[in-house]
Structures are given as structure tokens and as C-alpha cells.
Amino acid sequence: MFASTPQDLSALIQAMTTSVAADTAQNVLSAAQWELLAPYLQPINLAASEVLFAEGALDRNLYLVEYGSLSVHYQDSKERIRLALVGPGAIVGEGAFFAHRPRKATVQAAAPSRLWCLTALRYSEIANRQPALALALLTMAGQVLARRAGDSRRRVAST
């Protein structure tokens, strides 16, 4: 189990609660649910320009952004095309998390960033042990997927 306490997540909870970005998930987790979730999350610190995951990667991790800025882009035959810039309170990785398919884009830190990773395996553990929490997480990730799909400029930015 990852070493984590609810205090570790206070900045993430604040970011998830106060973000006003159009494609940010509404924080539907209670304080008790955040406390239950904490041990399942792994912190990730990225330096500016560090790649979180590349287009075509096969992992199904879901990431919650505590602080920083992430560029979502893909490479066509001529150039790199930025699809979105996401910041604190955002969720990334929802496309592969739901679809069980390779990543559709590369996500790279545009500035120093801190994220919290929920692996598919850890999510399965939550689903078995805390089904209400698992449903709340699906609701949050589903909100992001639906909002991005509904915005033609961000439709392809589901990662």
C-alpha cells in the first residue's frame, strides 16, 4: 500500500474543489471518501517538459492534477498539434481508463506539476472494497469524458 495520508491530499482536494475549467470534474467525494482514497493514490512529480505518457502507451492509469500545467498533444506527419492545456483540478487519462485502448495523445508537463496516479489495479481493489467510492470516481472521470466529448475543440483530447 502506498504511504499516504489525508493531509497529503489537501492541496489536491482544494484544486478539485475550486477549479473553474470547463472540462474539470465536479468534486463529488466527501471528506471520508477522500480519506479512503488516499492510500490508493501514488504521487507523481513532473519537471517541465517531462512526459507523463506517450501516444500509443498501453497503461490505463488515471491522473488527478494537484498543481502545474500539462500539454495534451499528438504528432501528425508534419508537426506536433496541441489539443489542450490542463491545470490544477483536472483529470487526465480517462479515455484509456474507460476504453482499454492505447493512449490517443501524449501528455507532457508544460510547467513543474504534481499529480496523483490511480492505477487500474488499485481501482479494481477500490471497486471490491469500497464500491460507493469506486462509483463516485467513475462519475468524476465520466464527467470529464462527457465534457471533453461535448466540446469539439477538446473531443480528441480524451487521453
C-alpha cell at 88: 490544477
Does residue 30 form part of some domain?
A: yes
Task: Label residue 44 exposed, middle or buried (CB < 10 Å: 0-12, 13-18, 19+).
Answer: middle
Q: What is the pLDDT of residues 43-59, one digit of tens each?
A: 999 999 999 999 999 99
What is the domain range of residue 37?
Answer: 6-151
- Per-residue pLDDT, averaged over 138-155, amounts to 78
13 falls within a domain: yes
Whole-Å CA distances, 107 to 64, 85, 111:
13, 9, 12
Task: Please report where in the chains the cell 492509469 appears, as a residue.
Answer: 61
Tens digit of pLDDT for each residue in 1-50? 344 444 589 999 999 999 888 877 788 899 999 999 999 999 999 999 99
Return the closest-CA partner of residue 28 out of 141, 149, 158.
Answer: 141
- Whichever domain contains 61, its CATH number is 2.60.120.10
Q: What is the pLDDT of residue 6?
A: 46
**Do the domain assignments include residue 158?**
no
Say how many C-beta atoms besides its own lie within 10 A of residue 129's C-beta.
11
Query: Quick check: is 12 in a domain?
Result: yes
What 3-state DSSP class applies to 88? coil
- Measured CA to CA, the distance from residue 126 to residue 103 in angstroms comes to 23
Report yes or no on 156 lying in a domain: no
Count of domains forming the chain: 1
